[in-house]
């Protein structure tokens, strides 16, 4: 499980179940386990500080890799 945080204000955004060792380019909505501070507006997802960190693509979010940080472990399945 990964904890994604805003790069600008360091607030927790959501808890995400990451499969594989690669970078976080997409966050599949079905794998998001808990949402703390994320707001969806106009097809994008925002932190409460106003920073955009993802674009809605239907079943997943395309992530802006400079807008968030993460910590935790990735699953090798």
Sequence-ordered list of residues with C-beta below 8 angstroms from that of 51, at least 6 positions apart, any chain: 6, 7, 8, 9, 67
Q: How high is the pLDDT of residue 77? A: 67
Q: What is the mean pLDDT of each run of 10 residues along the chain (77 residues)?
A: 96 95 94 95 95 96 96 88
27 strand-pairing partners: 61
Q: Which of 66, 58, 73 is nearest to 25 (CA)?
A: 66
* pTM (predicted TM-score): 0.89
How many whole angstroms separate alpha carbon 73 and alpha carbon 49? Answer: 26
As a whole number of angstroms, the distance between CA 6 and CA 30 comes to 21
According to DSSP, residue 11 is labeled -
Residue in 49, 59, 58, 71 with CA at minimum distance from that of residue 3: 71
């Amino acid at each position: 499980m990964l904890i994604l945080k805003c790069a600008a204000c360091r607030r927790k955004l959501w808890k995400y179940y990451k499969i594989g060792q690669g970078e976080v380019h997409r966050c599949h909505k079905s794998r998001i386990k808990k949402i703390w501070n994320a707001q969806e507006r106009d097809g994008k997802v925002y932190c409460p500080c106003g920073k955009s960190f993802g674009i809605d693509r239907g079943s997943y979010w395309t992530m802006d890799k400079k807008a968030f940080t993460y910590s935790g472990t990735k699953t090798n399945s």
